[in-house]
Structure 1
Amino acid sequence: MAQLNAILLLHFTFWPLLCIGLQSQYKSKIKCVFQGDEDTYSFYQGGDVVLGGIFPLHSSPISSYSSFKTKPEPTKYQFFTPRALRWMQTMIFAVREINQRQDLLPNLSLGYHIRDSGDDIPVSVKRSLLLVNGQPERGSGQSCEDIQKQPSPVIVGDAASGVSMAVLRTLGPFKIPLVSYFASCSCLSNKREFPAFMRTMPSDLFQIKALVKLVHYFQWTWVGVIGVESDYARFAIQLFLKESETFNICPAYVHFYPVVLMQDAVEELVNILKSSFATVIVNFSGESELHSILKECRRQNVTHLQWIASEAWATSKALWGNFGDLLKGTLGFAIRRADIPHLGSYLRRVNYSVAQKSQFLSEFWEETFRCQLNASLNTHAHGEEARNWPPCNCSESLDDVYTPYLDVSQLRVSYNVYKAVYLIAHALHDMTTCEPGKGPFQNGTCGSLSQIMPWQVCLLYFMKRTHFTTLGEEVRFDDNGDPIASYDLMNWQRESDGSLQLVRVGFYDASLENEKDLVIDEPAIMWHRGEKVCAPESLCSKSCLPGSRKARQKGKPVCCFDCIPCAEGEINSNDCLTCSKETWPNQAQDQCIPKTLEFLSFQEPLGIILWAFSAFGACATFTVSVVFIRYRKTPVIRGNNIELSFLLLLFLCACFLISLTFIGKPSDWLCQIRYPAFGISFTLCISCILAKTVVVLMAFRATLPGSNVMKWFDPAKQRSSVILCTFVQALICIIWLTTKPPFASYNTKFMSAAIIVECTVGSEVGFWCVLGYIGLLACLCFLMAFLARKLPDNFNEAKFITFSMLIFFAVWITFIPVYVSSRGKYMVAVHVFAILASAFGLLLCIFAPKCYILKSLVLFSSCTKSILVAS
């Protein structure tokens, strides 16, 4: 139906346009016959160049039935928009301001021809054609020179992207420039399709980037996206969904609703809003479409939503009066604002007498004061209510009421209109200052100001290349005719008196670096719950706790997931990430940190205890050595092979001290010392015991008649046997150290959060050969002692050696499985414990009885002396 209406309207308006195209050659022959409506509702003032303007003074057309057998009735609308009237007046104000300047177009006067687009494509196309044609007086037989209103070579408008696209497709073949002040669709940047389009409104491409970054900033990953069924909303939502993928933002739903909302469509939309878990709603529409939606939200008690406004309604105060409770806390990006000097006083010039002279102002007056002035073009849209309005009188004053028309606190779209007029003025000024012969066109021409022909693209050429400064802002355009994007982040806050306060809580500047283009003052934001503390949540699934990972739910977007615990050694992310061998998750399990180094340290309790026992054992051995030295001439000492006893005490002390090399942070040289030193020291001890045991046996054999065996076991031979036994162990150690020596290593296999610093034995064969050789000597020693266990009491040292070997075997047989099954510092502690236990066993079993006998002898001797003295 809308397309058919557009075709009929084009039929009534296209013929006059053809008259313009032919009048240069057939000016005297062609007669213009106006076949459409008079449509005299407009603001008009003549001039050397008349600027056209189309503004959505009315919106939401009321559908009516057309039979196409009679002339259609004028379109009726639901809403009159005082803001759009302010935009119209801003254009008039800018034209008059330029005409009063001497530095800009001093010899050229500007005029204006402004019409209402009705925010409707057929009406906008028709009235844009009227602007570029001019309008002859009613009747026929007039020449095209006798037109009443001058044609406009350029149009300022329209607000809606869809309407602008329709107008551009109609006027495009004639290269008539269209400068929009509010059309933001990124599709309009396509110069191949819309070569004559420019705008002072940033492209939606930048607004969408700002909106997506805003949503990402507050970690809203599950948002509802709705928009009116229009080119503007479709392109904007398409860009929003594409850009959201970069930040893992998911749409809970995407819903388009018709421009003319019926009750069933409104209920369907609100049911979607109510049933979804998404609490954040991004809405791409104008203010007129929101009335019905918000009304139904209130009826169904849907009051928990956080609205995110597109720039089309981010500063629309008209919605606050009836729906302030629903819209408080709204966030949205608004285009750059400015204070236009003297515009407020100019707008206030409208009074009762001025309103009577214009149909637009008359309707504004009637809508503002609810009275009848001139029975304006749209009063009948209010039905019975309008018929009951009282007549207007001279007592009404704009000072007594609030109207968006007079609100100059948020001049954003108005500022864009202002810049659009100045853009055209500066382009015309560049044309006037162009020197003939140096112009940009063929043969150096500059273009004609006396008769601007759109198809010569003279004006459009200069418009695309102009830049200027107005109200302190430098206005520039890119290759697509788009200005540099800059937005203010606005927050809808309720004043104490209930009125709306639009608070700037941040900004977005596309000229800044990627990570610095969005700045938000979060503490200044008032949310829809009336709080300034924290932002509301809008998630499909809550974030996983530390130590768990996301697992997508089948058939749902990436924002919907379950949380599955991560395995040990992994940090939580979209997937559990395994830390490297040298790192481990921190306590929050959100990053990998270096592992702690673990080794048997002198500072920890276990290391201190082992160190204390080692020192005690060495001191005890030294004490026994002192006792033996003091009583070396006693029969007890002399009869037990004093030389081997002293050697054994020396080597036992070495065993206690060598255990200290196992405590502390391992290094390569320390590892290469500790194992050979341990093996050789214990070999010396067992060799000495073995020699003592053999001497005991041989001494008994020597008491037999004719025995000459003791000559083979004199002290020199005993020392040689100890050296020989030790030489074999030393040879094993030398081969071990030269082939595959021990070394310090950092073990990450067994401990989770720590790196074990340990001595790796290098050659397993070498290590077990050292232990095996010590075991072999111990077995020989045990066997010899066992054979000598029943010798007379004078040679009863064999019993103690037997006991010491039993303890030695018990320690080291237990040591092997415990050592193999232990890890880290506990493995080292087991090794040290085995060394200390076996050393203490040897010390106690062999030397403690002798010390006890010496003590008894000393007590007996002292008692004997006392008795003798007493007698």
Structure 2
Amino acid sequence: MAYNSVYVCVTVLFFSTLISSQLLQTCRLIRSTSDLPVLTSEGDIMIGALFSLHDTVLESPPSFTEEPHPTQCSGFNFRTFRWMQTMIFAIEEINRDKRLLANLTLGYKIYDSCSTPFHALRTALALMNGNEGGTGKPKCRGRVPVVIGDGGSTLSLVVARFLGVFHVPQVSYFSSCACLSNKLEFPSFLRTMPSDFFQVDALAQLVQHFGWSWIGTFAGDDAYGRGGAQIFNDEVTKLGACIAFYEIIPKNHDQTEMSRIVKRIRETGTRVVLVFALEQDARALFWEALQQNLTSIQWLASEAWITAAVLSTPEFHSILQGSMGYAIRRADIPRLQPFLLRLHPSKYPQDPFVVQFWQEMFKCSLGTSTSIRPPCNGSEVLANTGNIYSDVSQLRISYNVYKAVYAIAHALDSMLHCEPGKGPFAGGSCPNSSSIQPWQLLDYLKHIHFTNDFGEETKFDRNGDPVAMYDLINWQLIGNGEVRYATVGRFDETMQPKLVIEEKNIIWNGNQRQVPTSVCSTSCPPGTRKATRPNFPLCCFDCIICAAGEVSNQTDALECEKCLPEFWSNTRRDTCIPKLVEFLSYNDTMGITLLAVALLGSCFTLAVALIFVLKRHTPLVKANNSELSFLILSSLWLCFLCALAFIGQPTSWSCGLRHTAFGIAFSLCLSCILGKTMVVLMAFRATLPGTNVMKWFGPLQQRGIIFLCTAVQLVICCTWLSVAPPVPRKLMTRETARIILLCDVGSPLAFSLVLGYIGLLAAVCFLLAFFARKLPDNFNEAKFITFSMLIFCAVWIAFVPAYVSSPGKYTVAVEIFAILASSYGLLLCIFTPKCYIILLKPEKNTKRYLMSKSNSERKY
């Protein structure tokens, strides 16, 4: 490390002196950067770019006695290669666009910084040197006026210090360290990646939104982790929360230390833990948490690892499922994927990175085959790979690169359209478009403000930071066991409110829908009450949600207040709202269904009556006493229609009509059936020698029986309505959130008498029909009356316990069901056999057939 540090310092001093000197008349070729691979495309204006296409550098320590060997990098990064291709895509798109830089074309020089500060500095020096290593006289004017990159904050810190000396604007796409906002140290640094200041603000608002007040914090042992975590701790403390612990993840990932800091989670009892670290440090922490089976923690993520593919492997699903954090905004860039899939080594022989990309992608060799990799056969197809390079579903950093290119293009366009006398420089002067100076371009970059094709504004504040916009990401497991980065909210600095959360779409740790709680807090929100916890710090107490029917409308309420009987607490338990009124209405599904069944029954009854009217002269209709049959059908029609009085909001009129109407209608129906049954039974008795019974059961007597039986029920109902009529009533209890509108029967005795009298008539009909069920006749109606009475009695016997146990509107529904079921039973059992013969068996609808004995009787 000592040798490297000395080498870096010497190199920086040497090249800074060489390039910045305005007195040099000739340029000297700097040999130390000629070995760097570079991708170049000529244009009127060249844009420099740095991408960490490899993860490490393989090189021997410098000896300072001979020229260093060419640099070798290893660990090809497909995601970074996609970023680089996105930059090329944006430049080519701008060159085709006639609206932007119409008379100029953009070119580029792209270097690989290999993820190391030293190599990043060398590539920056190569961009400032302006010579591509070709033959002939070097050209110093080839120096690029602007640089895009680098990726990580550590790399950008080194490059920004160097480029800032020459006021060369640098636009980074992935450096979020808040330290880079210091314009005294980094005067020419800008970025399309929001500063960690904004991310921490968004995280603090997230904690405040969910009421978490006992938070644990882990930080990576670097400027990114320590700086971000410290700012977060300060912010949430200002909001009244408590920090349960603050631990640093060691860079060497020492097993003993990792075990100790993970145990701190259990010791403090916190349920919510923020990890502000790079993905490799976060992975070491989660691996230790996995070893300790720590599966009940809700992890909050920093932007560095919330969408990291290395953590979405199945081994971490048990502890990271439900994790939440912010990621920079994504976008769908049209036509980018076909552009990415265009690559092939034969099409781009001059590209020094395509060969490495192709060999790493297909694990083959484009040169001589080795024992490790076979030769590439030329039939490889990028579209058939599932690599992250061609995955355009999460274009976040790629979108930042895209915005960086367009920001530079808009700044250049503004320079070219500068009107003399209205320029931004002294005396209103404009820059020389034929010789663009970096410091002039920097001034224009600082003041750009445009809206791209995605409807997003791009501009930089006075610190060179963009407008902070984040997607709130929630890790959710999908059916095939993969992690889906679900967007469940957003943070937009330009909107009000800044933070919007779709709570219903969030799946928390443990596959739960309920928001996890952290029990330590300095304040309880409305809807809860304070409950102190012994042996805990003063700021720690439980926030107990008020019970249903109770509210608290102030912060830190000690007790919850009960709502008045007519009111109920809202979902937040902070105010009392009127209770919901419940009754069986025509608008709900149950009411509509019962209405349809009742109307259908009435239509069936009318249809049967129509058949009997049309066939009234046939023997079967005459033999069954057409007058009684029509009277029974009329009463059944009333029975079906009286069910409608039970549907709708109870009123004094409807409550009085409900039970009296169905009581009288059923009494009339059963009275008619009773008269018919008695006639059938007595008709058989009258055939015996010496019997003269039928004179007591003629038409006049039948009408008298029907009138007398119905009159008894009529008297009961009239007495009921005059003495203690049914009235509408509100059923309100403090334990329920609803007011049940129902009809109070007024007099339980009268209600019991109505039902009892109906039951008495049904029982008498059943007994008489039962005795007459085996009378020898080709059409024995008593048998069908027996079945109908059996169904009738069964329905009303089952009605009693169902009526008593049903709550609210279901009590009314049970009663309607009993009315309709018994009515359908009477209609189907008594009249279906008759309609069957009338319509389908006309040969049996003859006087001879009806007067003859049954076949079974003739056998004896």
Q: Does 1:237 align with 2:208?
A: no
Farther off after superposition, 47-56 or 8-17 = 8-17
The answer to whether the aligner puts 1:465 opposite 2:461 as a matched pair is no
1:43 maps to which residue?
Answer: 39
Q: Does 1:520 align with 2:501?
A: yes
- Superposition pairs for residues 113-192 of structure 1, below 5 Å? 113-137=109-133, 143-145=137-139, 150-192=142-184
Q: Report if the CA contact (8 A) 2:553-2:574 is conserved.
A: no
Q: What amino acid does structure 1 have at the position aligned with 2:353?
A: F
Deviation for aligned residue 1:424: 0.8
Aligned residue among 469, 474, 478 for 1:486:
469
- Aligned equivalents of 2:218, 2:58: Cα separation in 1: 23
Q: Are the counterparts in 1 of residues 30 and 129 from structure 2 also a CA contact under 8 Å?
A: no
Question: Following superposition, which runs of at least 4 residues in structure 1 exceed 6 angstroms of deviation?
Answer: 60-78, 541-547, 560-563, 571-580, 590-594
The one-letter code matched in structure 2 to 1:447 is P
**Unaligned residue ranges in structure 2 (runs of 5+):** 545-551, 562-566, 577-860
Contact 1:162 1:230 in 2 (8 A): no
Pairing 1:320-331 to 2, within 5 Å after superposition: 320-321=312-313, 323=315, 325=317, 326-331=319-324
AA aligned opposite 1:124: A
8 Å Cα contact 1:335-1:412 kept in structure 2: yes
1:6–1:593 Cα change, 3 Å: closer
Equivalent AA in structure 1 for residue 451 of structure 2:
T
Take 2:269 and 2:57, find their aligned partners in 1: how far apart are those partners?
34
Q: For 2:224 and 2:250, locate their aligned partners in 1 and report how far apart those are by CA, in whole Å.
A: 13
* Aligned 8 A contact 2:36 2:123 in 1: no
Verify: 1:505 aligned to 2:488, yes or no.
yes
Deviations 1:638-682 (A, max 9, x none): xxxxxxxxxxxxxxxxxxxxxxxxxxxxxxxxxxxxxxxxxxxxx
| Aligned residues of 1:547 and 1:572 also touching (Cα < 8 A) | no
Structure 2-normalised TM-score? Answer: 0.58
Q: Cα offset for 1:427?
A: 0.8
1:763-802 alignment, distance < 5 Å = none
Change beyond 3 A, Cα 1:237–1:73: farther
Contact 1:55-1:159 at 8 Å conserved across structures = yes
Instruction: Provide the C-alpha distance between the structure 1 equivalents of 2:456 and 2:210, rounded to a whole number of angstroms.
Output: 31
Counterpart secondary structure, 1:36: helix
Mapped pair 1:534 → 2:522: no
In the alignment, is residue 389 of structure 1 matched against residue 389 of structure 2? no
Is the contact between residue 125 and residue 166 of structure 1 (CA under 8 Å) also seen in structure 2?
Answer: yes
The reply on whether 1:342 has 2:322 as its aligned counterpart is: no
Q: Which residue of 1 aligns with 2:207?
A: 215
Q: Is 1:411 matched up with 2:406? A: no
Contact 1:488 1:504 in 2 (8 A): yes
1:310 maps to 2:302: yes
Which stretch of structure 1 is more off in the superposition, 35-44 or 152-161?
A: 35-44
Which residue type is aligned with residue 444 of structure 1? G
CA distance in 2, matches of 1:242, 1:144: 53
Asked if structure 2 preserves the Cα contact closer than 8 Å seen for 1:317 and 1:404, the reply is: no
Indicate whether 1:476 and 2:469 are aligned: no
Say if 1:500 and 1:366 are closer, same or farther in 2 by CA, change over 3 A: farther
- d(CA) in 2 for partners of 1:63, 1:278: 46
How many angstroms apart in 2 are the aligned matches of 1:442 and 1:547?
64
Question: Match of 2:97, as an amino acid?
Answer: R
Query: CA contact under 8 A between 1:184 and 1:204: conserved in structure 2?
Result: yes
Query: Any unmatched runs of 5+ in structure 1?
Result: 377-385, 564-570, 581-585, 595-871
1:785 equivalent in structure 2: none
Residues paired across the two proteins, number? 559
Shift, 1:445, TM fit:
2.6
Q: Distance between the aligned counterparts of 2:470 and 2:413, measured in 1?
A: 30
Looking at structure 1, the residues matched to 434 and 279 of structure 2 have their Cα atoms a distance apart, in angstroms, of 42
TM-fit CA distance, 1:143: 4.6
Residue 78 of structure 2 is matched in structure 1 by 82
The residue that corresponds to 1:280 in the other structure is 272
The AA in structure 2 aligned to 1:243 is: E
1:301 deviation in Å? 3.6
1:423 equivalenced with 2:407 (yes/no): yes
Q: Secondary structure in 2 aligned to 1:171?
A: helix
CA distance in 2, matches of 1:460, 1:505: 37
Residue by residue over 1:307-336, the C-alpha shift from the partner in whole angstroms, topping out at 9 and shown as x without a partner, is 222222323334323545143222111212
User: d(CA) in 1 for partners of 2:532 and 2:415?
Assistant: 63
In 2, the alpha carbon distance for the partners of 1:193 and 1:86 equals 31
> Does the aligned pair in 1 maintain the 2:217–2:274 contact within 8 Å?
yes
Percent of aligned positions that are identical: 40
After superposition, what is the alpha-carbon deviation per residue over 1:540-571, rounded to whole angstroms, capped at 9, x for unaligned?
Answer: 589999876547857x58347999xxxxxxx9
Letter in 1 for 2:404: A
The worse-fitting range, judged by mean Cα deviation, of 423-432 and 284-293 is: 284-293
Deviation per residue, 1:705-748 (Å, 9 max, x gap): xxxxxxxxxxxxxxxxxxxxxxxxxxxxxxxxxxxxxxxxxxxx
Post-superposition Cα deviations, 1:440-493, rounded to whole Å, max 9, x if no partner, equal 223433122333333xx2111111111112122232332323222221111122
Listed one character per residue, the Cα deviations across residues 755-790 of structure 1 (whole Å, up to 9, x for unaligned) are xxxxxxxxxxxxxxxxxxxxxxxxxxxxxxxxxxxx
Q: Does the aligned pair in 1 maintain the 2:34–2:132 contact within 8 Å?
A: no
Q: 1:194 — aligned with what?
A: 186
Q: Per-residue deviation at 1:405?
A: 1.1
Partner secondary structure for residue 333 of structure 1: strand
Q: Which amino acid aligns with 2:245?
A: Y
Indicate how the Cα distance of structure 1 residues 592 and 117 shifts in structure 2: closer, same or farther if over 3 A, else same: closer
> Contact 1:356/1:373 (CA < 8 Å) preserved in 2?
no
Quote the offset at 1:296 in angstroms.
4.1
- C-alpha displacement at 1:130, in angstroms? 1.7
Letter in 1 for 2:495: L
Letter in 1 for 2:327: A
Aligned residue number for residue 855 of structure 2 = none
- Structure 1 partner of 2:54: 58
- In the alignment, the residues of structure 2 paired with residue 215 and residue 33 of structure 1 have an alpha-carbon distance, to the nearest angstrom, of 56
CA contact (8 A) 2:20 2:166 kept: no
Residue type at the aligned position of 1:461: D
Secondary structure of 1:90's partner? helix
Q: Is the 8 A contact 2:212 2:521 kept in 1?
A: no
Q: Is the 8 A contact 2:215 2:244 kept in 1?
A: yes
Name the CA distance, whole Å, in 2 between partners of 1:396 and 1:524.
41
Q: Structure 1 pair 163/593, CA: closer, same or farther in 2 (3 Å)? A: closer
Work out the CA distance in 2 between the residues paired with 1:421 and 1:108. 15
Structure-2 separation of matches of 1:43 and 1:182: 21
Contact 1:136–1:146 (CA under 8 A) maintained in structure 2:
no
1:485, 1:509 within 8 Å by CA — same for their partners in 2?
yes
Q: CA RMSD in A?
A: 4.0
Larger-Rg structure: 1
1:512 alignment partner AA: M
Q: Against the structure 1 CA distance between its residues 512 and 102, is the aligned structure 2 distance closer, same or farther, given a 3 Å change threshold?
A: closer
Distance 2:157 2:538 in 1: 34
Give 3-state SS (helix, strand or coil) of 1:59's partner: strand
In structure 1, how many angstroms separate the alpha carbons of the residues matched to 2:274 and 2:378? 45
- Check whether the contact 1:356–1:374 (CA below 8 A) recurs between aligned residues: no
Instruction: Tell me, yes or no, if the aligned pair for 1:79 and 1:288 is still in contact at 8 Å.
Output: no
Separation (CA, whole Å) in 1 of partners of 2:507 and 2:575: 39
Residues 579-610 of structure 1, C-alpha deviations (whole Å, 9 max, x = no match): 99xxxxx999x99999xxxxxxxxxxxxxxxx
Does structure 2 conserve the Cα–Cα contact (< 8 Å) formed by 1:551 and 1:562? no
How far residue 93 of structure 1 moved from its aligned partner, in angstroms, is 0.8
